[in-house]
Amino acid sequence: MERPDYSNFKEINDLSSPTFKLCENGEDCEHYKQFKAYRFTEAGLRHLVSHTHPFTPCRYGRSCKAHARLCAGGWHFDDQCHVATCSHGRPGRADWQGACALAGDDNAWRGKRSSKSAGGRLLHCANLREEAATLMRSGEDLVRQELEAHGLGFEMKLLTDIVPSKMSNPRLAEAHASLPLFTGRWAAEADGLEAEEADGGGAAQRKAAAMKADYTWLKFQPVLEIELFAALLYTGTDAQGQIRKALRNESDSEAQSWYWTIVALRHLVIKLAETPPDWLFHGLNNVRPPTRESIYGGGWVSYNNMISGSMSLPMGRRFALGEEGTAGPNRSNVGTVLHINMTDQEGIVAADMRWISKFPDEQEWLMIPGLSNFTGLHLYESRSEPLEGGELIHQMCTWSQS
């Protein structure tokens, strides 16, 4: 496709604000004003986590007790309400501890077994219909066993304490009924491939048609409680870090120990997929983009994982800075902010996590790449932001199917 002009992408995004489901009243919104005055209501919280409003940095910063209680596992209503208007963020989520997040020399595009990471082998080419039947039949038991094996069995209480209220949230029905890009294009393409196959097409055409049909079929299946539970685990518990780490490993063993939790989460993202905001920002602490010499085909890099993007550039920047508030203790350390252009993207699904997560200030969308083919990021321009003790690299990119 024709390459857009992204020469001033950083300047544009520095000045822009999120526009997805923008509250038409802005700062004059009655819910917003009531929350700023610490008068919290259930209706107000549902509105604020579903619509875009201004956020102000919490005056207590990382000493905020409300945010600390949520990070420690709490779900107190007033704490969630505070985080719905004041931004904090959990920079520790973005620290990859020197591991490679973006693999420029990954041969995932060749096929499932050629991927360098467990994520490339686990997230692609799944049998969605068989998985759906298993989740319906025994998903709760399977996920419980995985949590208990990782010392997190106590988190099962979220299934009874929190999931029912999420199931009745109006945003669930709205997102489930939405028609993102792939539901239209893929259905038409699948029909065309089936017709081609009937006229003598080969095995590749049959496989592609079946895969596209499976994704569009799954989009309209009922949302299961165990799937919402998996999203709560991922957005608000220690399971998130373990899953991301397991998917980036070269060995499959750790990722397989989270298999059904990952399946449940992937199915939820597909079912709740919507047309995302034009830009999402993904902060990576202690990560530098791959060298040009390692990049396949002039710009394609693999990122086979569960990928969170914030609607807020300041939040993405905060994650990239890390827990210490700088890119690192010396100039060899960096943080990277991926500016991901989400317009007209077919190779990924993305779901709004703001109304699910107890950290709505992160303005999180969850993306899963590689639906019908291997999908990576195509890297374009980058900009360096010098910092004392290091730098932030702002990297423009789009999703690109190999």
Q: What is the pLDDT of residues 35-83, one digit of tens each?
A: 999 999 999 999 999 999 999 999 998 899 999 999 999 999 999 999 9
Task: At 349, list the tokens.
Answer: 């699904």
The CA distance from 42 to 175, in Å, is 20
Where along the chain do the CATH 3.90.176.10 domains lie? 89-401
Exposed, middle or buried by CB within 10 Å (0-12, 13-18, 19+), for 128? buried
Q: What is the average per-residue pLDDT within 236-252?
A: 90
Contact by Cβ (8 Å): 349, 182: yes
Question: What pLDDT, on a 0 to 100 scale, did the predictor assign at position 329?
Answer: 47
Task: At 111, list the tokens.
Answer: 């096929």
**pLDDT higher than 90, residue 140:** yes
Contact by Cβ (8 Å): 282, 397: no
Exposed, middle or buried by CB within 10 Å (0-12, 13-18, 19+), for 332? exposed
Q: What is the average per-residue pLDDT within 150-177?
A: 96
**pLDDT higher than 60, residue 1:** no
Whole-model pTM: value is 0.90
Q: What is the architecture of the domain spanning 89-401?
A: Alpha-Beta Complex (3.90)
Contacts of 117 (CB under 8 A, 6+ apart): 103, 106, 247, 248, 249, 250, 302, 304, 305
Q: What is the average per-residue pLDDT within 253-257?
A: 94
pLDDT digits (tens, 9 = 90+) for 332-362: 478 899 999 998 776 788 999 999 999 999 9
Rounded to the nearest 5°, which phi and psi values hold at 398?
-135, 160
**pLDDT higher than 60, residue 160:** yes
**pLDDT higher than 50, residue 103:** yes
5-14, 81-90, 192-201, 339-348: the lowest-pLDDT one: 192-201
Q: What is the average per-residue pLDDT within 211-219?
A: 84
Using alpha carbons, select from 385, 375, 367, 382 the residue that is nearest to residue 291.
382
Q: First-to-last CA distance in the chain?
A: 13
Strand intervals (E) in 321-389? 334-341, 348-352, 364-369, 375-387
Cα Rg for the chain, rounded, in angstroms? Answer: 21
Residue 206: pLDDT band (50, 70, 90) is low
